[in-house]
Structure 1
Amino acid sequence: MFYLTFTRVKRIPLLVAIKALGMVKDEDIMKAVGLQSHSEVLINLYDFVDLKTREDALDYMARKIGITQSREVRLERMQEIVDKYLLPHVGMGKDFRMKKAYNLCKMLRKFILVANGELPLDDKDHYMNKRLKLPGDLLADLLRVNLKILIGDMLYNFQRIVKRGKFPSIKVIIREKLLTQKIYSALATGNWVGGRKGVSQRIERLNFLQTLSHLQRVVSPLSATQENFEARSLHSTHLGRLCPSETPEGTNIGLRKNLAMLAQGTSEVAEDPVFEHMKKLGFEPVKE
């Protein structure tokens, strides 16, 4: 049995999640997975042959995670969880459900091939499988979380004043320095959202080379107290991207690296030219 876990949804059968996204026909699922030997997928499909519609699959998931209201409420709440928290980078609306289903089928195919020894395991230390979080991403995380806190505080103040029979002005319900203070505090202490520490630091200006080194520092989120030998060692894909020799001695060795002198992070690229090039190479778009 193949299982899927995301946010508060724990160990839901993967085929149920795919059906909940709108790919309900067993034939479509088999084609999307696209394996020569279908035995593993067939066994899982047979277990959930009673789930004929998307609503049946959503109801199964809702009951599995303990939503006990009426069927209509269960379906609405479960649909919101699936849209918002399952593969949110693909999209968060109803238009993206089928794309998510195809992504899950693609993951299932890869998992089966790796489990059967037909494909090797992914190399976690290969730089193709990593992403650098640049200052813009980190500041976006900080603003997003604290803006949500500000909105929650505004809503609480609004409801509290309305209960007294008054209609408040915007000035009354907004605590003017809440957002600013939280951002200032994070930048001053380096304590970031998500429990990360040391994200913002005072720049070292002892000499020009040290300043340049500090600006190009890349810090791994792994703990310095654990061994993680493979993560600390030099990988062939670091060539031209990370400096092979500059790293501190002691517990942080290999976890604090520095960008190579001429390395640059790529910015966002328009998708349309990439899609056009892929079509020329023979790729076909997914028919939803």
Structure 2
Amino acid sequence: MATSNEAEKARHALRRRRRLRQVLGAVVCVLVVIGLASVISGGVRLTASLFDDTEEKEEFELRLQTLVSLDPEPFDSLESANRARLLDAAIWSVIQQNSDSLDTYERDEVGAMYLPTLDIDRAVASLYGPDFHFNYETFTDNGLTFQYVPEKNAYLLPITSVNGNYSPRVMQIRREGSTKRVTVGYLDLYGSGEIVFDPTKLEPAKYMDYIFTRSGDAYYLTAITESEMKAESQTGSVSSGGAQAPVAPQDQVMDNVASALPESVAPAQSGSASESATTDPASAPAE
């Protein structure tokens, strides 16, 4: 009888151990599945992050904003580019980056702002590279004259808000050896004849490729070429070579300029551009 009871107890103990092993096995399987899912999910996120260049695109859009707004003509090298257009873009880049502190700059008797060439040098080096330089002198671009004042080492800026009609959207970035080919879509904020406040709803009017070449640890603009990417429809209003209407970023920048002017000179702004700069249609900055 005792032997029978012992045998029954042994069978119960065996069944308990089996159930325990089954439970432990199920728990282990669940943990393995969770672990695999986590690894796969992490791998997917890592892969996506490696191929996600959204941040880089935004950086290029910021760097190219003022230059694209002026619609520069294509060029194979900085030496063959329209240097007046390159300098014009650098000047507006300084204005844009310092839009919150424009009231700290020196002004003339009618409120026109002096922009030091030292500030321009930094903008030039940031986009075109530290080895590219301008020989500063009075120049005209896009119908505006920028008067160079040697004794102040500064440009006397025309008071205006008309400075371009495009906004950039970087479509793709292709690495080709030591260069990056940045395909830029030109958003025409005034193409429909009405102001567009949400550029995300716009399709590019045209595309251009901006070539950036590696120098040291950074990439700098060295060329602009026609892009293989084409807009579905193009009109005469998007032809290259000249800006035709204000672009929103420049309007905002120059609103800041106007707001920093003394109230007594505000009515005279329409004429101050011609009074504060010496017209020199044939002049353009040279290296």
TM-score under structure 2 length normalisation: 0.24
Higher relative contact order (CA 8 A, sep 6+): 2
Structure 1 or 2: more strand by fraction:
2
- Larger Rg over CA atoms: 2
